[in-house]
Amino acid sequence: MKKLGLIFGIIIGLIVFGAFKKKSKDNSKPKISATEFVAELERLGYYKYADKKNIDSLKNDLIENYDPTNELVSIWDDDTGVPLDYRYYWCDGETVYEEGGFTELLEQVKPTFDKIGLKINVTDHFEQWDDKNKWLNHRITINGTEYVIFKNFKDYGWGEAVMRFAQIINQEAENQGIKEKVYLASGGNDGRLIFLTKELYDYIYSVYTNEQWKPLEVNEWMKVMSVKPMKLN
């Protein structure tokens, strides 16, 4: 009788384990399918700046490579490096931090500035490493406003340079009533930046799960990437 009870218990246990395993496996699947995700992106205007001839390729590429536990994907122009969706750019923190990197990135993303109607007019730019004090001072004047990027800075500023870029562009976008803002993803040599409306950002944020790779607002990105605010006054 005891053996029969033991066997019965084992059978019940296997059934429960199997059901739990199946449930766990089901939970690992994306809650939103690739086609549903891309359809909603399109509805929210994600492809509004892309050339019509490229939209199908962009959509199909994202459907094929859709993985909410990883990062968004795009297609970039082989010659210019500009994304065909005019949103999702590579952003190497080391390059942005190095001399000339900040203005180089401004030039790189200018096609998107033109698409979204953001005016960026640089009238002054000062970038100097002080050999005596071993610090960096870096400032730029955009549309008549002087922005300090680094002041008496002595560390490796890969993350800080990208942070200031996003903050400055977002401030200018706000000043001009532009809905598109810069959001950041990943960091270091693998950094990304993406132009999104709040609606697009909220939707992507709700679907993608990996905070190391999904687009983040600047303040959240700073926490994830351990980038500290700087004293700029």
Instruction: Over range 10-18, report the average pLDDT.
Output: 42
Flag the least confident range among 54-58, 87-91, 96-100, 183-187: 96-100
Q: Is residue 81 part of a domain?
A: yes
CA distance 56 to 61: 8
Crossing angle for the helix pair 101-108 and 158-175, nearest 10 degrees?
50
Q: Is residue 20 part of a domain?
A: no
More confident residue, 194 or 20: 194
Q: Is residue 19 part of a domain?
A: no
Q: Is residue 27 part of a domain?
A: no
The pLDDT of residue 122 is above 50: yes
Q: Which two tokens stand for residue 59?
A: 């959509």
Q: Is residue 230 part of a domain?
A: no
CA distance 67 to 25: 16
Q: Is residue 79 part of a domain?
A: yes
What pLDDT shows up at residue 11?
Answer: 41
Instruction: Over range 101-114, report the average pLDDT.
Output: 97
Mean pLDDT of the chain: 88
The pTM for the full model equals 0.85
What pLDDT shows up at residue 227?
Answer: 93
Is there a contact between 53 and 61 (Cβ–Cβ < 8 Å)? no
pLDDT digits (tens, 9 = 90+) for 159-169: 999 999 999 99
Q: Is residue 212 part of a domain?
A: yes
Residue 124: Cβ-neighbour burial (10 angstroms; 0-12, 13-18, 19+): exposed
What pLDDT shows up at residue 231?
Answer: 77
The pLDDT of residue 40 is above 70: yes
- Tell which residue, 205, 204, 133, 127, has the closest CA to residue 161: 127
The pLDDT of residue 34 is above 90: yes
CA distance 61 to 15: 40
DSSP 227: P
Instruction: Over range 193-199, report the average pLDDT.
Output: 98
Crossing angle for the helix pair 34-43 and 198-207, nearest 10 degrees?
170
Band (pLDDT 50/70/90 cuts) for residue 153 is confident
Hey, how many other C-beta atoms are within 10 angstroms of the C-beta on 62?
A: 21
The pLDDT of residue 19 is above 60: no
What pLDDT shows up at residue 71?
Answer: 96
Q: Is residue 168 part of a domain?
A: yes
Instruction: Over range 205-211, report the average pLDDT.
Output: 97
Is there a contact between 167 and 159 (Cβ–Cβ < 8 Å)? no
Flag the least confident range among 63-67, 103-107, 124-128, 173-177: 124-128
Instruction: Over range 10-19, report the average pLDDT.
Output: 42
Instruction: Characterize 80-94 residue by residue with b for buried, 16 or more Cβ atoms within 10 angstroms of its Cβ, and e for exposed.
Output: eeebbbbbbbbbbbe
DSSP 228: P
Band (pLDDT 50/70/90 cuts) for residue 38 is very high
CA distance 38 to 54: 14
- Tell which residue, 177, 194, 176, has the closest CA to residue 185: 194
Please count the structural domains in the chain: 1
Tell me what percent of the residues of the chain surpass a pLDDT of 70: 85
What pLDDT shows up at residue 152?
Answer: 83
The pLDDT of residue 97 is above 80: yes
Structural domain for 151, as ranges = 34-224
